[in-house]
Structure 1
Amino acid sequence: MLTGLYFIRTRLIFGIILITFAFVDERQCLFINNSSNFFSLAQKYGYKPVKYEVTTDDGYMLSLFRIPGNGTPILFLHGLEDSSDSWILRGKGSLGIKLTSKGYDCWFANFRGNRYSRKHVTINPDQERFWDFSFEEFGIYDIPALIDTILNSTHASKVNVIAHSQGTTSMFVLLSSREEYNDKVNLVINLAPMCFMENIPPPVLSMAQYTNEINDIFKNFSVNEVLGFYSAESKALRSLCALPLFGYRLCLIGILSTIGGNDAAEIESDFFRYHINNHFPAGTSTKSFAHYGQILQHKSFQRYDYGDLENMNKYASSKPPEYDLGKIRTKTALLVAQNDNFSRISDVERLKKQLVNMVNYTILPRKQMNHYDFLWGANTKDYLDPTVFEVLRQFG
Structure 2
Amino acid sequence: MVFLGFMQFSVLSLCFIVLTTFPYQASSRVSFGRNQNGVNPHLDDGICASAVIVHGYKCQELQDGMTWLMNPPEQDLPLILADHGFDVWIANTRGTRHSRRHVSLDPSNPAFWNWSWDELVIYDLPAVFDYVFSQTGQKINYVGHSLGTLIALASFSEGKLINQLKSAALLSPIAYLSHMNTALGVIAAKSFIGEITTLFGLAEFNPKGLPVDAFLKSLCADPRIDCYDLMTALTGKNCCLNSSTVERFLMNEPQSTSTKNMVHLAQIVRHGVLAKFNYVRPDYNIMHYGEIFPPIYNLSNIPHDLPLFISYGGQDALSDVRDVENLLDRLKFHDVDKRSIQFVKDYAHADYIMGFNAKDIVYNSVLSFFNQVL
- Residues 340 and 164 (structure 1 numbering): CA distance in 2 closer, same or farther, change over 3 Å? same
**Could you say which residue in structure 1 is the equivalent of 2:118?**
136
SS at match of 1:112: coil
Cα 1:376–1:208 shift into 2, 3 Å: same
Is the CA contact (8 Å cut-off) linking 2:113 and 2:260 kept in structure 1?
A: yes
For residues 314-325 of structure 1, the aligned pairs below 5 Å read: 314-325=288-299
Q: Which residue of 44, 55, 61 corresponds with 1:45? A: 55
**2:167 is aligned with 1:187:** yes
- Could you tell me whether the CA contact under 8 Å between 1:364 and 1:383 is conserved in 2? no
Which position in structure 2 is the counterpart of 1:256? Answer: 231
Which deviations, in whole Å up to 9, do the C-alpha atoms of 1:87-124 show, x marking residues without a partner? 22212211111111111111111111111110111111
User: Contact (CA 8 Å) 2:182, 2:236: kept in 1 or not?
Assistant: no
Secondary structure in structure 1 of the residue aligned to 2:61: strand
Does the alignment pair 1:199 with 2:179? yes
| 2:82 equivalent to 1:109 | no
1:281 Cα shift?
1.7
Q: Which amino acid in structure 2 is aligned with residue 48 of structure 1?
A: K
Deviation, structure 1 residue 33: 5.6
Superposition misfits of 4+ residues, deviation over 4 angstroms: 231-236
The one-letter code sitting in structure 2 at the alignment partner of 1:38 is I
Which one-letter code corresponds to 1:181 in the other structure?
Answer: L
Indicate whether 1:268 and 2:242 are aligned: yes
CA RMSD of aligned residues (A): 2.5
Distance 1:235 1:88, change over 3 A: farther
TM-score normalized by structure 1?
A: 0.74
1:161 is aligned, of 130, 142, 156, to 142
**Structure-2 residue corresponding to 1:369:** 347
Does 2:267 correspond to 1:294? yes
Quote the Cα distance in structure 2 between the aligned partners of 1:259 and 1:303. 24
Deviation at 1:160, TM superposition (A): 0.7
AA at the equivalent of 2:141: N
SS at match of 2:161: helix
Contact 1:113 1:284 in 2 (8 A): yes
Q: Who is 2:320 aligned against?
A: 344
Would you say 1:304 and 2:294 are equivalent positions?
A: no
Q: Give the direction of change, closer, same or farther, for the CA distance of 1:360–1:129 in structure 2 (3 Å limit).
A: same
Q: Could you state the TM-score of these two structures normalised by the residue count of structure 2?
A: 0.78
1:225 is the counterpart of 2:207: no
Contact 1:335 1:362 survives alignment (8 Å): yes
Deviations 1:41-85 (A, max 9, x none): 111111122235xxxxxxxxxx4xxxxxxxxxxxxxxxxxxx511
Unpaired runs of 5+ residues, structure 1, are 1-31, 53-62, 64-82, 237-249
Number of residue pairs aligned between Structure 1 and Structure 2: 315
Pair 94,198 (structure 1): closer, same or farther in 2 beyond 3 Å: same
